[in-house]
Amino acid sequence: MTGGQCTNIEQSSIPATLKSLFENTLSTTNGQSFSSSFVSSATCRRLKGSWEGGHDPSGHVFLLTLSSTLLIVESIELYTSEDNLVQELFAKNLSWIQFIVHPIILTLVVVLTGLNMLLMTIVKYHSLKEQLGGLSAALVVIWMANRIVKALVL
């Protein structure tokens, strides 16, 4: 949608299932290589093609940044309230099962898993420009959500 397309896709690198799926969207340039504006840049890289033009912001970076940040912000609000769950975690003599299923521990596990997935996404997928596009969109949404919540609370 941003004007980019995958070019120089070798016919031999297209699986039969993908060829039948995109037979109407693949156009041949010289009989041997194809181009398509309907595949993503990640699919283009898997097909050994080259991406030209456009911008494909990373949805994974967007979603992982958004979910991790919102969970952290909401957890800070929750865990610094009067029902101080952090003190409860260390003040009581909890069994290991109670410790593992404690809300703070579960939240930490979810946040650390999300951050690990974010790191793997950054290392493996999309270019830096695309990753920054996803990060920028997530930060805008976080800022907007913060403004809306503050407006509703006041």
Backbone angles phi and psi of 7, in degrees to 5: -125, 170
The pTM of this model reads: 0.63
- Identify the residue with better confidence: 123 or 5: 123
SS (H, E, C) 2-14: CCCEEEEEEHHHC
Residue 100 pLDDT exceeds 70: yes
Q: How far is CA 97 from CA 94, 105, 106, in A?
A: 8, 11, 12
The DSSP output letter for 46 is H
CB 114 within 8 A of CB 71: yes
Split at pLDDT 50, 70, 90, the class of 18 is low
The listed range with the strongest mean pLDDT (6-10, 34-38, 44-48, 136-140) is 136-140
CB 24 within 8 A of CB 76: no
pLDDT (tens digit, 9 = 90+) per residue, 42-72? 777 777 777 777 777 888 889 999 998 888 8
- What's the pLDDT score for residue 45? 75
- What's the pLDDT score for residue 46? 77
Residue 14 pLDDT exceeds 80: no
